[in-house]
Amino acid sequence: MGVTKDILSEGDGKTFPKAGDKLQMHYTGTLKEGGKKFDSSHDRGKPFSFTIGIGQVIRGWDEGVIQMSLGEKAILNISSDYGYGSRGAGADIPPNADLIFEVELLDIVDEGSSGRSCSIL
């Protein structure tokens, strides 16, 4: 149980996010069972922005994305207890669903160092 990461394409291998950094990601989320897509930043044509390591996203993202380097593309396999658990999420994610996210780390803004930004955008 938890999160595993399979790298699709390597990032820079040296620039990693830290808790409190603001990140920009592209992602597509699917249900492990059946493969139904439930959400995608690509469909909106705009990266998703969030702060890592503070519980703003599901635990599987907080623990999986923080292991990625800038520019990396990966698959995160997230068990339900690291996703939305027994409550599910809306009509698209049923209770106890394992999730698969294809993610790409596009930008890191280091909030702890006067807003340093590293970007591949």
The catalytic position among 16, 21, 52, 58 is 58
Segments of the chain assigned E as strands? 3-9, 22-31, 37-40, 48-51, 73-78, 99-110, 116-119
The catalytic position among 16, 21, 62, 101 is 101
Q: Is 58 a catalytic residue?
A: yes
The catalytic position among 21, 62, 78, 84 is 84
Q: Is 38 a catalytic residue?
A: yes
Q: Is 84 a catalytic residue?
A: yes
The catalytic position among 27, 62, 82, 93 is 27
Q: Is 39 a catalytic residue?
A: yes
The catalytic position among 38, 50, 100, 110 is 38
Q: For the CA atoms of the chain, what is the radius of gyration?
A: 14
What is d(CA 93, CA 11) in angstroms, rounded to the nearest whole number? Answer: 30
- Residues assigned a catalytic role: 27, 38-39, 58, 84, 101
